Structure 1
């Protein structure tokens, strides 16, 4: 009976009454986020008409900016009053906006109301009164924190003044430079310019030249410009190099006496052809039938680089070496990275090692982590080691073949535990002495690469387990882990829908192992098919990014509960942190370090890794455009590799160069972007361009300044 009454009462509630109820509901709990379902239940909206009325009112309240939709059908009281703090996003088309710190929709800031805020500045804004059915708008009233005040571009020098013309898509105006602030720069020079002021009434910011990189178009100039664009250093500080030059390369006898001696045991390195920094070596000897001792020996960088010293501070700041197409920008000075610490053949070297007693089936019977001294017998390139694996002939063939057999067993185990198998090829350029790309080739991971990879993974995992695995009642000591979260559920669903059109299926629910095994099954199924590269790309997009943290959640992609980075201290700062903490905890029984300090170092390292990867991609893009400069007008077959509202990205089959067909060039119809199905669809003729479609294109334009290739459709 009561239920019937409630329904009747519900029916009698009109729009005004329900709106008042909703306003009271949100204002009483201003910090909470509510789902639609929860609102229905709390306000006892049991009938369909009432629920529909409620949704209607919620949309009105959102349009009036009374509430914000934080996520799909999740609402929160819009607590911002007249003022708000957020991150400013500058657009060269003048459609600037800020992203509020407290979440919610971006707020439009017209150029005239931007107070000349720069991209990513932290600003305070004043909100304008909300106009119905219009986006929220505001005005910058204070710049709280500048994000970036240096820009890279090309100088244009007139008689009494100059400009820096930037290719930066976030700056609509060129930077004005007074003649006396040019530092000798001439028209056509690439330069780094610092913005020193931007007067209220001035159209252009005013800057001064910090450094001249060289003539635009010159290879070294352009590579340095890419580094500078990402805020990465392109020269090594002299005082740091001087400090490295003072480090002795002579190993004192008392240091040797403290270490396990592996100089008499067969040891070698396997690295890329052009590598100079060998930071890992493998040793192997037979203990008895079906039991081998395998040593993973890593350059003992922290023996030479003292914590808090000038070299360490520079390494911490850089956090990683950067690998551009034609050069390496090392994390540590070259005297250390290519000479003292590099495990070069026939030279005695100090190492930090994980020594395994392991069977031919990859079962680890025992392992220990010790400081050692080694003397490498041979430096193999991957190609040379591959030759031995394929022919069974060559130097140290028994050792190489045994290591390969163990590595294959380790790899098989890893995949049966649910590790994900992304075996991607790398695009590489053959470059002449002037840095010009003359050909493109693809580098695939072969058995020799996988051999090294498996032993490095095993060492990294064993080190992480040594510190992270503790008895139930004990707390593990603070340690930097390499972590990788589960895939984003929404992206996984999108992937499942996307691959269905090609006739494939994956599991989107179940245990971690169930999901990863079904992804592996998919990757096996697509091998050799024309959609292979495309589905692999979309699958990778569904994955989270791996990062560093002291909070261990395991590594999903590798299917390891504990994982860290120990094996590359010459080129990664987290590995140096791991070496120091291992020594502190294992050798000296030291107390745990500060979690806050190390989490900050982990965050910094993760960020720098991402920036370095972006710079690397930009250098590849530059070389791709340079490679295609003399191919304008030529026709190629390709695959649609990306779909956006501004056009189609196409990857050419022959050389994997990627360019874009701008939406303005698809002039046979008005095209709409369907984000869910990765396609553009013509409104009138219903023609569809989808991710993965095979397509013929002509090279229309190659703009080296913008690192941009434009293609035109060939019908």
Structure 2
């Protein structure tokens, strides 16, 4: 801990300073002059970690003072990257990757925009810390050696000596452990540690994705054994310690195929006109001891990952689908947020406590929507809860109006749902529904998360908040230029309020251009993250927000449960407070990272199946919308929400992207393709290797000259 403080002190001394020698640094930090060797070792470690660099005279300074920047390498779609620092993200073209892989900590040199004119670009000059030592690629086998051509990010082939080829065959997808990362004279070298199979089998592609990201479907044997040793029967002694809510007709409402049911709800209209909203969440913390094998594995995973054809759960299924899942008509332990809400949507009282419940029904969104639609069969089948469902709908609309009035942004973007058959092939694509039942649960969970966050904030206890910062003025300026093509304008870039976006979104819905406008606004906003500092949630226009409602699938929620539990019988002691202050910064950074990884994996797994689905659609015509441009491409989205592109270099005419118009112009005919244009396109190529679908305007299909 002292060395961290010393490093911080040294960096402060080096701000705008010339480079310093070891003796000068020793004096500044108050180190002993007699411990020259030990002091040199500390400084060398800081150099290895990228905290310091040395010049040709052996003097030390920060990378920033030498013109370098340290950050985390984040790969985007395998085609470009950003290096993220605490204050900015710097664009890295593929040619500037060096040997960096997604998640590596790197040093970069700025190659463009260093003088403040235009966006910054850079190139990787050194990898400081490897996220992992393995790479996925396709084997090109020779008689006495082989090369593995990486499928993702890493730009150089990896040499494999004959003795390390294992039993892999030519053309197979393999995982390589890299022993030497290469230099100016030698290629990288490694050994094959796992053979995956055909690179064009989508099941293998998803397996490779899991391996590439360092994830696993399976748990260590000792963690599974720990899960199986947890008693499944709740003792009477434990029930006596809790509020007994088993008399309430509490219900779960989830998707048809959900198995990890971690939230249940109950609504009652009180005689004073207020509503009682009970949000009961699986009490995972009761079963998962802090520091146990289960806890460490869950922290490492950070969250469950929902791929297109499988789930990588945060806990073994004995926990996620069994002991903690709020299955119907079973006694279950829960952590409750019990709110009283007035008819105007104001929460006038909040209680948090441990309880035992027995859910009355395992409801699905489909069934609740059918009750609300007054379908006789479902109204009759669920007659015992029909009135409560109506009260839920009424309360949900009140909560929704409060969120709307304060400026909460409702990004009601269509989401693609890939429906697979038993053979794991795509049967069809459809829009993921977001009916009233889905909105009810969303509104209730947000209310509980806000109530818990506000309680913890005013108790002044170190905690985990779900934060969403205000967007960067520079990004809003760029967004404003694009929105201007649709007649919209943001008058202030500095202190922007989410309500301004809300009004633009509403108007775009009336004009039928909401999908493209939603996406542009969403891309201009920062990504939400976990942090100890409560700075509010911009997108929800909320002053207090956390994640409390999904501890089976998010480690953040389990942390919040543990912190909230400290307040049930008093206030945490100094030792507990100190422990939270010491540990939470690192944990919140880690779970923010695992969440980003999960999102990327989920998107890529869907893309794999979508591209496979489109492979036998070559020559078919679809209605589509123009959703974006690059200098050489127009991007479309079909009515089934499949993203594809047209490479204009394959066209007979000459096209040019007009930045001022933000449109693609046919310079031979004058025809203009604008954002939001509706056109018919023909699918001409679906490439599993590149994970892309190529199309062409149907009226030009006879002149297509690209590969099919």
TM-score (norm 1): 0.79
Deviation at 1:484, TM superposition (A): 1.1
2:30 equivalent in structure 1: none
2:540 equivalent in structure 1: 558
Deviation at 1:294, TM superposition (A): 2.5
Q: Tell me which of 647, 650, 668 is aligned to 1:665.
A: 650
Deviations for 1:150-170, whole angstroms, at most 9, x for unmatched residues?
2112334444433323222x3
Deviation at 1:682, TM superposition (A): 5.9
User: In the alignment, is the contact (CA less than 8 A) between 1:280 and 1:299 conserved in 2?
Assistant: yes
Separation (CA, whole Å) in 1 of partners of 2:638 and 2:307: 22
Deviation at 1:594, TM superposition (A): 3.4
In 2 relative to 1, CA 294–96 (structure 1 residues): closer, same or farther, beyond 3 Å?
A: closer
In 2 relative to 1, CA 509–204 (structure 1 residues): closer, same or farther, beyond 3 Å?
A: closer
In 2 relative to 1, CA 406–127 (structure 1 residues): closer, same or farther, beyond 3 Å?
A: closer
User: In the alignment, is the contact (CA less than 8 A) between 2:268 and 2:276 conserved in 1?
Assistant: yes
Aligned to 2:566, what secondary structure does the other structure show?
helix
1:323 equivalent in structure 2: 306
1:150 equivalent in structure 2: 134
User: In the alignment, is the contact (CA less than 8 A) between 1:699 and 1:712 conserved in 2?
Assistant: yes
Q: Tell me which of 594, 598, 601 is aligned to 1:615.
A: 601
Alignment of 1:537-576 (within 5 A): 537-576=519-558
334-343 or 221-230, larger mean C-alpha shift: 221-230
Alignment of 1:74-473 (within 5 A): 144-168=128-152, 170-198=153-181, 200=183, 204-288=187-271, 290-391=273-374, 393-394=379-380, 395=382, 396-470=385-459
Alignment of 1:513-528 (within 5 A): 515-527=497-509
Q: How many residues align?
A: 622
Separation (CA, whole Å) in 1 of partners of 2:108 and 2:527: 33
In 2 relative to 1, CA 186–667 (structure 1 residues): closer, same or farther, beyond 3 Å?
A: same
User: In the alignment, is the contact (CA less than 8 A) between 1:464 and 1:481 conserved in 2?
Assistant: yes
Deviations for 1:516-539, whole angstroms, at most 9, x for unmatched residues?
323222222222543221111111
Aligned to 1:339, what secondary structure does the other structure show?
helix
Aligned to 1:585, what secondary structure does the other structure show?
coil
Separation (CA, whole Å) in 1 of partners of 2:80 and 2:557: 40
Deviation at 1:699, TM superposition (A): 1.6
1:47 equivalent in structure 2: none
User: In the alignment, is the contact (CA less than 8 A) between 1:266 and 1:284 conserved in 2?
Assistant: no
Q: Tell me which of 599, 602, 617 is aligned to 1:631.
A: 617
Deviation at 1:80, TM superposition (A): 5.2
In 2 relative to 1, CA 253–79 (structure 1 residues): closer, same or farther, beyond 3 Å?
A: closer
Separation (CA, whole Å) in 1 of partners of 2:64 and 2:272: 72
2:25 equivalent in structure 1: none
Separation (CA, whole Å) in 1 of partners of 2:569 and 2:454: 17
Separation (CA, whole Å) in 2 of partners of 1:138 and 1:670: 29
| Gaps in structure 1 of 5+ consecutive residues | 1-27, 33-76, 129-135, 471-475
Deviations for 1:437-496, whole angstroms, at most 9, x for unmatched residues?
1211112311111111111111111101111025xxxxx121111111123323333333
In 2 relative to 1, CA 536–119 (structure 1 residues): closer, same or farther, beyond 3 Å?
A: closer
Q: Alpha carbon RMSD of aligned pairs, Å?
A: 3.7
TM-score (norm 2): 0.79
Aligned to 1:561, what secondary structure does the other structure show?
coil
Separation (CA, whole Å) in 1 of partners of 2:262 and 2:138: 39
Separation (CA, whole Å) in 2 of partners of 1:118 and 1:443: 33
Deviations for 1:380-415, whole angstroms, at most 9, x for unmatched residues?
110100111121724110111111111111111111
- Quick check: which has more Rg, 1 or 2? 1
In 2 relative to 1, CA 646–196 (structure 1 residues): closer, same or farther, beyond 3 Å?
A: farther
| Gaps in structure 2 of 5+ consecutive residues | 1-13, 19-61, 112-119, 701-708
1:18 equivalent in structure 2: none
Q: Tell me which of 472, 475, 480 is aligned to 1:491.
A: 475
Separation (CA, whole Å) in 1 of partners of 2:447 and 2:480: 32
User: In the alignment, is the contact (CA less than 8 A) between 1:224 and 1:234 conserved in 2?
Assistant: no
User: In the alignment, is the contact (CA less than 8 A) between 1:496 and 1:508 conserved in 2?
Assistant: no
Q: Tell me which of 522, 525, 535 is aligned to 2:517.
A: 535
Separation (CA, whole Å) in 2 of partners of 1:493 and 1:247: 55
Separation (CA, whole Å) in 2 of partners of 1:619 and 1:374: 37
Separation (CA, whole Å) in 1 of partners of 2:121 and 2:510: 51
In 2 relative to 1, CA 154–199 (structure 1 residues): closer, same or farther, beyond 3 Å?
A: closer
